[in-house]
Structure 1
Amino acid sequence: MDAKPLRWLAATVTTGVLVAVGATTLAADASNERQKARSVIFVNGDGMGPAHREAARLALEGLDGQLVMDSLPVSGQLTTSPDDPANPITDSAAGATAWTIGQRTYNGSIGYDVNKRPVPTLGYRAKQAGKATGLVTTAQVTDASPAAWFANVPDRGQQDEIARQYIDVSKPDVILGGGEDWWLPAGNPGAYPDKPAEDPTEGSRSTKGDLIAIARQAGYRYVSTAAQLQAAPDGRLLGLFANQEMFQQREEGQGDVYSPVVSLATMTSKALATLKKDRDGFFLLIEEEGVDEFSHDNNAARMLQSMGELEKAVAVAKAYVNAHPDTLLVITGDHECGGLTVEDTGTTDESGDAISKEDGPFAIPGSPLKFNLDWTTSGHTGVDVPVTAAGPYATLFTGKHPNTHVHEVLSKILTK
C-alpha cells in the first residue's frame, strides 16, 4: 500500500466514517476511540517474524492451538526497511526508532533522524503529556529497542549515556531488566560481579559515574533480586537483574542459558501494578530479547523457550486489557532474525554450513507429528513482521503498513 492511500485512510478515520479497504470495513469513529483511549501496552518480540510465531504455536499449543498473542481480534503486517545508505535491512535501533519518531532512519540510530538530528520520542512525549511510563525487558534496559522510546543518541552503543538520559531527561517511572554494567563505573561491581564464569567479558563500564546512586537521589527505588522487586512499594522503580542480558546467548550446548533472575511476566505484572495508579494513563514497553539473540545463534530450542516466556508476559498484558478496555495492546517485532522457516521432518538440510542450519525435530503436543526449523542466516532479514492488537484504535493496524505507522496510531493516545 503506498503513502497516498494511507493518508486518505488516516484522514477519513478522523472524520468518524466507515472506511472500506478491499473486503474489510473498518468502523473507525475517532472521537469515540479517543474517549475510550487512556493507556498503551506495546510488546516487542525482538527478532520475531511469522515463522517464530508459528513455530511457537506448534511447540507450545499443538496443531489446533492458538498463541495468546495471536488471539487478539486485529491483525496486520508491518514492513521493517530502514533509511540507511549502506544496508537495506534494519537493525533493532532503526526499527524501534521508526516506531518512536515516525521516521525511517539509519541503523544504530536511537531517536535520531537520517540527518542525525534528535527527534522527541513517544516515551518522552507521553511523559510530557502527563502519563506514567515504563519499560521491562530481558535485554539491557539501555539496549536499542527500549532506548529508542526514551533516549536520543546517534549511536546505540552509548548505553551509559542512555541510562543517564533515563534519569535526567525522559524519566520513565518503571525501568526493569538487565544491564547493570552500564550503570556503574569500571571497577565497581554491583549486585552482579564482574567477569562471571559464564561470561568473563562482562563488567561495570559506566563513564557517567554511579548512575544507580544518581537514580536513587532522583527518587527511584533500586532493586536487584526477585524478593526486592516483590517488596518494592509504589513509586519510581529501577530494577537491574543481570550484568548484561538476562540470559547467555550461545549455540546449543555451548554455554547457552535462559534462566532470568526475574521472569518477564513477573516484571510485567509489577510494572502494570505500579503504572496503573496514574489517573492520566500510562505507556509500557514489554520486550523479550531472547527471541532475537538466540536466533542470531540459530539456537531454536532457546528461541522457543524465549517465545514461551514472551507468551506468559502477553497473557498478563491481555488480562489487564480485558479488565481495562481503555488500554491499547499491540504485539509485534522490530524485525525478523534468522531467516527462519518451519519445515517437515522429511526435508534435508539445504544450508550446509555451521551457522545457517536445520534444527529439530521438535515435538507437537497432542500429536505424533514433529517439525523442523531451518535457519537461512545468522543475521536479520527484511521479512514483514506480524502485528496483532486489541483495544482503542486497534483496527488501524488492519492491513499492511510501514513500521512508522506504529507512531501514527500510538500518538493518538500518548500525546496531546
Structure 2
Amino acid sequence: MRLFDSRHTVLGAAGTVALVLGALAGGAQADRGGGHDRGDRGDRGHGNQTAKNVILVVGDGLSIAARDAIRLATVGQDGQLAMDQLRYAGWTHTDSADPDDAVTDSAASATAFSTGVRTYNGAIGVDLDGNPVTTLLEDAKALGKATGLVTTAQVTDATPGSFGAHVPDRGDQSEIARQYIDDTRPDVILGGGEDWWLPVGEVGAYPDNPDDSPAEVSKSTIGNLITRAQETGYTYVSTPEELAATTAKRLLGLFANEEMFQQAPEGEGDEYDPVVPLRDMTQKALDVLSRDRQGFFLLVEEEGVDEMAHNNNGGLTLKAGQALDDTVALIADFAARNRDTLVVVVGDHETGGLAIENVDPDDESTDTGSTSPDVLQSSEDGPFPIAGSDLEFIIDWTTGSHSGAATPLTAHGPSAELLARAQHSTNVHDVILRAMRGGR
C-alpha cells in the first residue's frame, strides 16, 4: 500500500470554483425571481431552450464510488467537487446490447451517448448490424456548429472515435483517424495516439520504443495521416509550446505515442503526468471553438480514471479524477460567462468494482483465490487522507475489469433538467440533440 497525500493537490482553485458555480446558482435564483435576460433563460434549463454550445465531459470508468473517493481526497467530507456542484443530477444505466456480455465496454457506451443507439461491445458509431448511425458531432456540424474532441487517451480511442467515426471494430484506429480527416472533420482534435497516424518505421515527435513503454511504435495502416491532415487544412502541433502559440481554426494536436500517461499497478511504471494537462487542452479547444457564431459541440474525456482502475491503482485513479475535476471547474467558468451552454458530466461505465472502506487491519481483502491473478493487481490501496481531517480511507477493488454499475451524471444549462432522472445512457444523446436543435 502507498500513502497518497492529496489534501492540497487540485482545488487550490476551490475558491474560484465556488465563485463560478455560485454565479451559476445565482442565475438560477434570478430565474425564479422572474429575470428575463438571455442568460437567465439559458440557465433555467427548460427543455424548450436551445443550447448554442454543448460540452459533454466523459469520465471514463467514473462511478459514484470513484467520484466520492476523489471528493474525499480532494475537498473532504464537507466539500464538493466542481462536477458535483452542477445544478442537476441523475444517473445512467450503461448496459450495451452485446449478445455475449452483460457489461458494456467504452465503445458501446460511447456509441450510446453519441448516437442514442445501443450496440455491441467494440462498435464505434454503428448499430448491431454494423450500419453507421449519425453521431452528435455530425448533428452539430449539420447545424452549422464547430466541433471538437479532447482526450487524454488516443484521439482515435473508443470514446472520441464513437463521436467522429463509424467502424465495426474499435481496434481500427488508423481508419478512425482517416475518417476524422476525410469525413467528419472535427475542428479541434487534441490528445494522444500519434502511433496510429504514422506508418511503421516512421518516427514522429514521440519516438518509437520509449524507455517507459518499449512496445509503443508507429503503426498506421493507411500511410502518414498527419501529413494528410495538414494537406486538408489542419495545423499540427505536438508540444505544449506549439499548442499555446497556435491561432489555427482547424487544429490537430498529438502529445503521446498512445495514452498521455502510463497505466500500470503501483510502482510498476505507472505515471500520470500528461505533456499537456487535460485542462490546458480543453482551454485551447474552447478558445478555438467559441469563435464560431453558431456555437459548438465539444467532447472532453479523461481516460486515466479507467486505465488506472483497470490496474487497481488507487493513487493514480484519484490523481486522474482530480485532473478531470479541475477541467470541469474551467468548463463551469466558461458556462457562467456563456449561459446558453449545456454542460454534462457523466461516466461511461464503472471500472474496478471500487469501494470506499475504513482503515481496518482486520478487514484486508487479500484473498486472491476467487479471482484470476491476471485480472486482480491489488486487493486494496491506501490509506488515503481525507482532505481537511485526520481521517483516512481505503480503496478496495473487486476486479480489474468493468462492472455493470450505473454511473452518476450532473448537468447544467438548457434542457439539463431532463437529465435529472434514472435513465439509459441513450437518453443523454436524446437530450443533447434536442437541446442543440431547440425549435429547429
TM-score when normalising by structure 1: 0.91
- Which residue, out of 327, 344, 348, partners 1:330? 344
- 1:349 corresponds to: 364
What SS class does the counterpart of residue 43 from structure 1 fall into?
Answer: strand
Letter of the structure 2 residue corresponding to residue 212 of structure 1: I
- Which residue, out of 379, 388, 391, partners 2:410? 388
What SS class does the counterpart of residue 100 from structure 1 fall into?
Answer: helix
What SS class does the counterpart of residue 245 from structure 1 fall into?
Answer: coil
Q: Does 1:73 align with 2:87?
A: yes
- 1:53 corresponds to: 67
Going from structure 1 to structure 2, the CA distance change for 1:59 and 1:30 (only over 3 Å counts) comes to closer
Shift of 1:62: 1.1
Percent identity for Structure 1 against Structure 2: 53
Q: Is the 8 A contact 1:39 1:413 kept in 2?
A: no
Q: Is the 8 A contact 1:195 1:201 kept in 2?
A: yes
1: CA distance, partners of 2:71 / 2:435: 31
- Which residue, out of 128, 135, 140, partners 1:121? 135
2: CA distance, partners of 1:249 / 1:350: 23
Letter of the structure 1 residue corresponding to residue 382 of structure 2: G
- Which residue, out of 166, 169, 174, partners 1:160? 174
Q: Is the 8 A contact 1:351 1:376 kept in 2?
A: no
Q: Does 1:88 align with 2:102?
A: yes
How many residues are aligned here? 387
Q: Is the 8 A contact 2:96 2:103 kept in 1?
A: yes
- 1:205 corresponds to: 219
Residues 38-89 of structure 1 show CA distances to partners (whole Å, capped at 9, x for unaligned) of: 1100000000000100000000001211100000110001000000111010
What SS class does the counterpart of residue 126 from structure 1 fall into?
Answer: helix
Q: Is the 8 A contact 2:45 2:412 kept in 1?
A: no
Letter of the structure 2 residue corresponding to residue 349 of structure 1: E
Shift of 1:234: 3.4
Letter of the structure 2 residue corresponding to residue 141 of structure 1: V
- The CA RMSD measured in Å over matched residues stands at 1.2
2: CA distance, partners of 1:160 / 1:68: 35
2: CA distance, partners of 1:30 / 1:126: 18
Unmatched tracts of structure 2, length 5 or more = 1-43, 369-375
1:14-413 → structure 2 map (5 Å cutoff) = 29-31=46-48, 33-34=49-50, 37-346=51-360, 348-353=363-368, 355-413=377-435
Shift of 1:293: 0.1
2: CA distance, partners of 1:277 / 1:246: 27
Unmatched tracts of structure 1, length 5 or more = 1-26
Residues 173-195 of structure 1 show CA distances to partners (whole Å, capped at 9, x for unaligned) of: 00000000000101001000001
Q: Is the 8 A contact 1:122 1:414 kept in 2?
A: no
Q: Is the 8 A contact 2:235 2:248 kept in 1?
A: no
Shift of 1:350: 2.6
What SS class does the counterpart of residue 383 from structure 2 fall into?
Answer: strand
Letter of the structure 1 residue corresponding to residue 297 of structure 2: F
1: CA distance, partners of 2:45 / 2:332: 22
2: CA distance, partners of 1:171 / 1:137: 16
What SS class does the counterpart of residue 68 from structure 1 fall into?
Answer: coil
2: CA distance, partners of 1:351 / 1:94: 33
2: CA distance, partners of 1:269 / 1:28: 24
2: CA distance, partners of 1:203 / 1:414: 40
- Of residues 351-360 and 94-103 in structure 1, the stretch that sits farther from structure 2 once superposed is 351-360
Shift of 1:356: 4.9
Shift of 1:413: 3.2
What SS class does the counterpart of residue 244 from structure 2 fall into?
Answer: helix
What SS class does the counterpart of residue 83 from structure 2 fall into?
Answer: helix
2: CA distance, partners of 1:414 / 1:98: 17
2: CA distance, partners of 1:152 / 1:413: 24
Shift of 1:119: 1.0
2: CA distance, partners of 1:351 / 1:377: 13
Letter of the structure 1 residue corresponding to residue 431 of structure 2: V
2: CA distance, partners of 1:108 / 1:201: 23
Shift of 1:414: 3.5
Residues 195-236 of structure 1 show CA distances to partners (whole Å, capped at 9, x for unaligned) of: 111111101110111110011011111000000000011310
1: CA distance, partners of 2:399 / 2:68: 18
Shift of 1:377: 0.5
Residues 116-155 of structure 1 show CA distances to partners (whole Å, capped at 9, x for unaligned) of: 1111111122112210000110000000000001100000
What SS class does the counterpart of residue 69 from structure 1 fall into?
Answer: coil
